[in-house]
Structure formats: structure tokens, C-alpha cells
A and B are shown apart, each in its own frame.
Chain A
Amino acid sequence: MLAYSIKRLLTLIPTLLAASILVFLFVHLIPGDPAAILLGDTATPEEVAQLSAEMGFDRSLWVQYMLWLGNVLQGDLGTSIFFREPVLSVIGNGAETSILLATMTMVWIIIIGLPIGILSATKHGTWMDQLTSSGAMLAASIPTFWLGLYLIMIFSVYLGWFPSSGFPSLSDEGGLSNLRYLLLPSLTLAAPNAALIVRLVRASMLDVAREDHVRTARAKGLHPSRVAIKHIFRNALISVAAAFGFTFAALISEAVVTETVFSLPGIGRLVVQSILRRDYPVIQGVILIIVVLYMVINLLVDLAYARLDPRVSLK
């Protein structure tokens, strides 16, 4: 498996490079002098000229790309115009929030989505199946920010059970109980994604249930729930596992809206604010990191695939 992972990582490199070129070009696609853009509106012409020379903006694009790439590989993603700090540390500040949010959301998705999906499939054809299927589709149609606003209104404003904004770090006072700040946001983010998982699990299980080996399992006199879990669900997991990986990746971008609604100091909100503030180095840095993350997730999904389906050979 290690050899396979390394091989796959190697094939990722061309795609990573191509994506990095796109990210690099991003700043240069913006109309205007890149150095002026990077320094922001308050820069003087001398500062602009100086940065231009430093960054090599007067040299060819290829050279600039190489310089940039070299910096990136050493961990230097540039400097934020707004914060006047290295981009990497700015992003790092938001990482804790975003990672915790994504993890909590995945937990909700698994504990809500999987059981309902399995239930829906096993009760196929009954009113329960109709209800959960339509309900899932409805839940997937709700805009996350709208759901978030209403959860805030009900649970924060009227009931006062949960806080409506912000997130103190776990290392601040309150410790783990600070996670309650992430409860509503993670539920908001989980709802539409759990719905998609429900539908996917249901569809996959119904497909598998028609296969011959399920009939064999029944012919062995196994209890129906054992057949449903060990023979139907386990086989359906093959298709579902890939979706989990991509859901996690999608969470990264969807978190943007949720973090804005709940004013969470995460990377998503950072991106939006940076866009509004025209803080291009930060935008560039975040995108780059997210792209890399996406590809790593792809790789993990492939590995999981091989683990779940013995027929897939790691060649």
C-alpha cells in the first residue's frame, strides 16, 4: 500500500503544478500593476517600484513563477496586505476553527446520514422510505445561510441555548466546552450534506440488494438485519466512501458561508473578507492550500476504495 501511495502522489504532481500555475496567474490576471495591487491603495510610487524590482515583476512570467514557487516550497506564501503579516500565519490563525468545524460537521453527517439512509433502504416502498427520501431532498434544497439564520433565531435569540457568533479557541478559558460555539454552525453545514448522503446510501443499497450474493446470504437463513448491514450496506459502502471524501472537500468551500453567518474566525470567512479587502496574497495562499488539500483527499479516497473492495488491485 505504501508503494501505491507514493506512486499516486507522484502522479498528482503534474496536476498540482498545473493548479499552482493557475493560482500564480491569478494575481497577474487582475487588471493593474501587480506590485501596486499587492501593496494596496496606500502605497507610494517608490514603494511600488521597489517591490516590483524585488519581486522581479519586470522579468518574464516564467521567472516570476519559479521565484514564487520556490518561495512557496519553503513555506513563504507572501505577506498579507491587510494584516502585514506572513500569509501562512494569517491562515494558521483560522485553521483551528475551520478544522474543528469541518470535523464536527462530518461527525453529524455520519451519525445522522448513515442510519437514516440505511433505514430508508431497508424500508423501501413503505411510507417511511417516501418520507425520508423526500425529506432528504428538501433538506438538500435549503440554502445553508438561511438555515443558519433561523437556527440562530430559534436557539440563540429565543431559547438562548447556544451562542450565536464567534468562537474562542479551545486553548482559551472554557476549553472543550467552547465547542458549543460550533454546534449550530456544524449542524447548519451538516444538514444539506447529510441529506445527500442519505440519498446516496439509499440508492447504493437498493442497487446492491438486487445482486445475487444477497440472495445467497438470505438462503443461509441469516437475520434480515445482518443481511442488511453485513451484506448490503458493507457492499454499498464502496460507492459511499468516495462520496464521503468529496463531501469533506466540499465542506471546505461551503464553510465560507456558514463562517460568515456565525462570525467564526475561520479560513472561510478569511477568504471572503480578503476578497472584499482585495488582500490578494491571502486569497492566493488559501486557494493554494485548499487545492493541495483537495488532492490529498482524492488520494485518501482512492486508498479507501482499495481497502473496501478486494477486487481493486493496488497496481
Chain B
Amino acid sequence: MKQPFEKVVAQYGGMVLRVCRVLLGVHDAEDAWSETFISAMRAYPELPDNANAEAWLVTIAHRKAIDVLRARQRQPAPVGEVPEEASQLGVPGAEDDGDLWQSVRALPEKQRQAVAYHYVAGLAYAEIAEILGGSADAARRAAADGIRNLRKNYSGAAAEGAPS
């Protein structure tokens, strides 16, 4: 028996928002969140009862984020890295996280995706491999490389006074 879609939103809404933030930054994350859940709601009656709702939602969010990134690439590129642009990456209300978001944005796409799907969504590497293509080992390596790069850049900033 399928639970009401409202419960799916209540249970996974926060996770999908955080995943979208890692993939896209704060502002585009909200659009991607909305696109993900409207798309999920459309398909929900056909989702098998025993399906992993978490992996299903992350798969949809993955596709929606790619759509957003493609749309973004079609728009004229901003001139240089203006500070206003960087501040949009931060999480509203959180303090001193600018460096973290810069580091996340600096990651190669596969690493950023693998970090989001494993460390934020909590998916197994086999599930991530289904989303990204390639093997579970490749997904594991991408996540490990992503974390190593994040740690290198982000804790470098911590030495300058940012919180750990």
C-alpha cells in the first residue's frame, strides 16, 4: 500500500533540498526542488510499492539539476566571479559557510554529485552508480576524491579562522 504523497514530501523534502543545494547552489536549488517534487507526484502512482523512495527522488533531482545547469549554460556567462554571485551560494541563516560553498562549487561535477548522493542523501554506491552510470567502485572513488578535495580546500579556509 502506498503512503500519501504528503508523507513523502514531509520525509524527504529536506534531504532533496540539501542535495539540490550541493548540486546547484541555494537559489537554483529551490526551483530544482519544486521541479523534482511535481515530477515525482506525477509519476508517484506508478512507483512500485517496494521501491526505494529516497533513490527514486534523488534520481529525479539529478535529472532536474542537469536541466537547470544546461539552461544556465545557455544564458550569457557572468563576467568574472563577482562577490554577489558567491554570496548566493551560502545557506540562508547559516554563518561563515561561504568557503564551504565555494569549495563545493569548485568540485568537478561527478565528484559533487557523488558527494551529494552519498554523504547528503545517504545512498549506497550501487544506487549512485545507477544514477551516474559506471560502476559502484567508480562512484565510491568519485565520492572519496570529492571529500578529499573538499577537505583540502575547506579546512585550508578553517586555518584562516572559519569554523571547522
**A, B in one complex:** no
Interface residues, chain B, with chain A CB atoms under 8 Å away: none
Interface residues, chain A, with chain B CB atoms under 8 Å away: none
